Amino acid sequence: MKKSILIIGFLIITSVVLAQQNHLLPKPTHYARHNGHLRFGKTIALQYVATDLSSEAVTHLKNSIPKSIDLKVQDDADAQIIRLSLDTNGFKTSEGYRLAVAEDGIAIYGGGEAGLFYGLQSLLQLIEPVDSANTAWLLPYVRVDDEPRFQYRGAMLDVSRHFFRIDQLKHWLDILAYFKINTFHWHLTDDQGWRIEIKKYPELQKVAAFRKETLIGHKKELPHRFDGQRYGGHYTQAQVKELVAYARTKQITVIPEIEMPGHARAALAAYPQLGCTGGPYETAMFWGIFDDVYCAGKEETFQFLEDVLSEVIPLFPGPYIHIGGDECLKDKWRVCPHCQARMHDEHLPDEFALQSYFMQRMATVVNRHGKRIIGWDEILEGGLATDATVMSWTGEEGGIHAAKAGHDAIMSPEKYVYLDYYQSLATEEPLAAGGYTSLEKIYTYDPIPASLTADEAKHIIGVQANLWSEYLTSNDQAEYMLFPRILALAEIAWTAAGKKDFNAFVNRVQHYYPLLDAAGIHYADVLADVQD
Ligand code: TNX
């Protein structure tokens, strides 16, 4: 029997009134509140009793409390006991859980370790201080039965256009996991910066990781922002491993994205021979789609990307590697002798077929490492690699097409779930990419398109919100764009469609503002807008 004692000292969370209603977010499948509650003193001691969990699993659970809640592991004879049990037959997936709080204590049953983790997150969401001085804490008697709607609940962050430190990313993973998001899509390379160490290609760190100016945004909009500062940075492989391991303790899978064949200007600045013209190239400084892309004719390009993937793939234990595929202009390919020769030799009718050849070749490399590719919906053009998963961003069409063809798809339509869009129509909003993605718009989005049959719909494995960072100038601004909108994503990804209710959701979001305050998160208070 494994035992460990946890003392949880909560940071000051101001003016939280004990709510009787279900404020769990995302909303669970089934929630029943019973009369009474467990009462804790000023600090909360929780003791885990896990009969059938590995010590590693228990450690993960111990580490699962967001950093905003100050956790100390100590022996305490008076601890409340949480009985953790696996129930592998009782749930549809390993993420399902049952939480029971009653007179005789706290019990969590999980379909797997992930389920126990989510049961614990729900428990943490239910513990409330009795007063603003946190003189005591109450945990209501409840029974929660819960399963996620989608297995893939994602958030993407673009660290190329704006660079974020590992500790900043970890902080977000804490909060994302607390709201049961389980996938972090790490957009590591783009025209404006290459952010992952590749030992075989040191120029990536020296050249591709930097650009001449701090800021990108759109050239026309930002003349005043030129500061002449070289801007950049990258993550070492050791840091990548550290983040991936950290995410694992939060039940979060990290998916790296290495962009190809477009969005490659930074890589070409470092290795110009990989472009059709041979350069010279510069890491891009502004928002845009650039026509200098990897040359699809030269073997050297494939060798480079194969080498890159061979270093990247072992760092990420998850099943997917994202290889981009979006917005690849074909202008250079049309006049490049290498590309034209390749098309001739491989009997490719047009440049779209050449892109498909490119992506399928790289998919083979990924498959050889035992992984599957994800690509943006443009990978559908000219034919899809056998086990490719499509990330549908230009709309829902790509996802629908993929699902009908028996491919998995992740819905991420820009119109609904793009977090670089404005979140309110207020004039004082920070400059953003354009568009408007309100909290309500995300909330009302249903990732399963009505045009799919039940069987086809099974291929929609989930939904993801994307935060592109061309317009971000700071970590605080990134948080402002992420929160609270990412909570709407969390709920549409977890909660059954029939259980959604926007007004009730808004109340629940408000409930978490003090927690976000305590965690030092700079969220946008968009609820004032909503209630108008
Ligand atoms: C399109 S969405 C892109 C990104 C930009 C974004 C700006 C996608 C796959 N590609 O490169 O950052 O628009 O909204």
Q: Tell me which of 23, 60, 234, 263 is the catalytic residue.
A: 263
What domains, with CATH codes, occur in the chain?
2-146 (3.30.379.10), 152-531 (3.20.20.80)
Taking only the tens place, the pLDDT of each residue in 166-211 is: 999 999 998 999 999 999 999 999 999 999 999 999 999 999 999 9
Atom index in ligand 1 nearest the CA of residue 393 equals: 2
Q: How far apart are the C-alpha atoms of 377 and 409, rounded to whole Å?
A: 9
State the DSSP code for 497: G
Taking only the tens place, the pLDDT of each residue in 73-109 is: 344 556 677 888 899 888 999 999 999 999 988 999 9
β-strand partners of 486: none
Residue 68 pLDDT = 46
Atom index in ligand 1 nearest the CA of residue 289 equals: 11
- Pocket, ligand 1, Cβ cutoff 6 A: 326-327, 376, 393, 420, 433, 468, 470
Q: How far apart are the C-alpha atoms of 354 and 342, rounded to whole Å?
A: 8
Taking only the tens place, the pLDDT of each residue in 318-369 is: 999 999 999 999 999 999 999 999 999 999 999 999 999 999 999 999 999 9
Q: Tell me which of 327, 350, 429, 517 is the catalytic residue.
A: 327
**Pocket of ligand 1, candidates 158, 255, 374, 468: which has the most ligand atoms within 8 Å of its Cβ, to mutate?**
468
SS3 per residue for 95-108: CCEEEEEECCEEEE
Question: Residues 358, 379: contact at Cβ < 8 Å?
Answer: no
CB-count exposure of residue 342 (10 Å: 0-12, 13-18, 19+): buried
Cα-to-centroid distance, 419 and ligand 1 (Å): 11
State the DSSP code for 224: G
Nearest CA residue ID for atom 8, ligand 1: 326
Cα-to-centroid distance, 468 and ligand 1 (Å): 7
Question: Residues 282, 269: contact at Cβ < 8 Å?
Answer: yes
Candidates 412, 374, 434; CA nearest to 493 is 412
The residue with greater pLDDT, 55 or 148, is: 148
Q: Tell me which of 146, 147, 190, 351 is the catalytic residue.
A: 190
Tell me what ipTM this predicted complex has.
Answer: 0.95
